[in-house]
Amino acid sequence: MKKKRQALYFDAPYKLSVREETLPALKADQILLRTTRSAISAGTEMLFYRGQFPREMAVDASIASLEEQSGYPLKYGYAAVGVVEEVGVGISEDWLGKRVFSFQAHQSYFVAPVGDLFQIPDDISDEDAVFLPNMETAVNLVMDANPVIGERVIVFGQGIVGLLTTALLREFPLEKLVVVDPVPMRRDAALALGVDAASAPKEADMDDFDLALELSGVPDALNAAIEKVGFGGRVIVGSWYGQKPVSLDLGGRFHRERIQIISSQVSTIAPKFGARWDKSRRFNLVWEMLGRVKPAKWISSRIPLGDAEQAYVMLDSRPQDVLQIVFKY
């Protein structure tokens, strides 16, 4: 009898379902895994929940399990931790029982080739491991930002990616590190990391900053970031705005003061690092940073997959009460 799984689908804006599916047959080079945890990536997944994603693009061309989808109904998610239950005939049985991470949608079982799996180090818990994609993004953001000793840095947005990025920036000998977020819970989490100040958007520090990172997903924050940097300042844009229009004020001091706007996206690495940084090196660093930061402390809700609608309604209507939601299986 073929094994079944429960899988979460975005059926239409504001409509979800958890469907029972028959798992595909296991190929010789594949592994079957039972999911233990998967994390919601709120910034991206709320675009799908609200119908704000660009319909002409693949859902995620950089993730094999998602690249063939371009519209509703669709499965999404890219932060799954599981335990190996079966292996294909071409795979060593040494994999059995291993804890692994994989870029997979929210579902109770998944089948994946060995190349799509990342063994979790023994000192990393399942709940820390589900933050791997966001930590990879944070590492990439910091590499693109290239902070310099003694700089003044401001970070807009203290969702999970923002908090992880802030945690990494705290490793640098900066003159000042401040964050901006409208949600008190997020500001408190940033203060616990040791930032110099955490404020609501209208109360942001008036200093000229050398470097700003826009990680809020709010288009207006990009203008605020441009306003905050001084002559020759750098603005790193890590947000994906989806279909939300972005209106930039570039008619004032932007040109005269040579302000730089730099895009950052985790599916590629900056060309200047490409010759020395491969996937293995970057993921080794990501695991090390997860061990240092231990982000499971930011999980605010653990929800069974069958109650998934509750999670997205909470994110849509009460984002101020949420840091990270994790599905448990």
192: pLDDT strictly greater than 80: yes
* pLDDT confidence of residue 16: 96
pTM: 0.90
Q: How many domains is the chain built from?
A: 2
Per-residue pLDDT tens for 131-146?
Answer: 999 999 999 999 999 9
- What is the span of the domain harbouring residue 221? 141-269
Q: Are residues 221 and 314 in the same domain?
A: no
Q: Is 131 within the bounds of a domain?
A: no
Per-residue pLDDT tens for 229-281?
Answer: 999 999 999 988 877 888 888 888 898 999 999 999 888 888 899 889 988 89
* pLDDT confidence of residue 59: 53
Q: Are residues 10 and 75 in the same domain?
A: yes
Q: Is 191 within the bounds of a domain?
A: yes
Q: Where residue 93 sits, what CATH number does that domain have?
A: 3.90.180.10
Q: Are residues 200 and 237 in the same domain?
A: yes
* pLDDT confidence of residue 206: 82
Q: Are residues 203 and 164 in the same domain?
A: yes
Q: Is 301 within the bounds of a domain?
A: yes
Backbone angles phi and psi of 305, in degrees to 5:
-55, -35
Q: Are residues 149 and 227 in the same domain?
A: yes
Greater confidence (34 vs 68) lies with 34
* pLDDT confidence of residue 181: 97
Q: Is 274 within the bounds of a domain?
A: no
State yes or no: cis peptide before 184, omega within 30 of 0: no
Q: Are residues 245 and 312 in the same domain?
A: no
130 close to 81: Cβ distance less than 8 angstroms: yes
* pLDDT confidence of residue 65: 53
Greater confidence (323 vs 61) lies with 323
Q: Is 129 within the bounds of a domain?
A: no
Q: Is 282 within the bounds of a domain?
A: no
287 close to 121: Cβ distance less than 8 angstroms: yes
The one-letter code for the residue type at 149 is I
Name the percent of the chain lying above pLDDT 70.
95
Using the Cα atoms of residue 39, residue 41, residue 47 and residue 53 in order, give the sign of their dihedral: negative
Tell me which of 269, 284, 302 is where a domain ends.
269
Q: Are residues 116 and 148 in the same domain?
A: no
Q: Where residue 199 sits, what CATH number does that domain have?
A: 3.40.50.720
Q: Is 220 within the bounds of a domain?
A: yes
Q: Are residues 31 and 95 in the same domain?
A: yes
- Looking at the chain, list the stretches that DSSP marks H as alpha helix, in order from N- to C-terminal side: 42-50, 126-129, 132-145, 160-169, 184-193, 219-228, 253-256, 279-293, 308-317
189: pLDDT strictly greater than 70: yes
Per-residue pLDDT tens for 137-177?
Answer: 999 999 999 999 999 999 999 999 999 999 999 999 999 99
* pLDDT confidence of residue 204: 81
* pLDDT confidence of residue 294: 98
Per-residue pLDDT tens for 54-112?
Answer: 765 555 545 555 555 568 999 999 999 999 999 999 999 999 999 999 999 999 999 99
172 close to 182: Cβ distance less than 8 angstroms: no
The one-letter code for the residue type at 41 is S
Q: Are residues 156 and 251 in the same domain?
A: yes
* pLDDT confidence of residue 301: 96
Name the percent of the chain lying above pLDDT 90.
79
Q: Is 315 within the bounds of a domain?
A: yes
Kindly indicate the confidence band of residue 284, based on its pLDDT and cuts at 50, 70 and 90.
very high
Q: Are residues 79 and 14 in the same domain?
A: yes
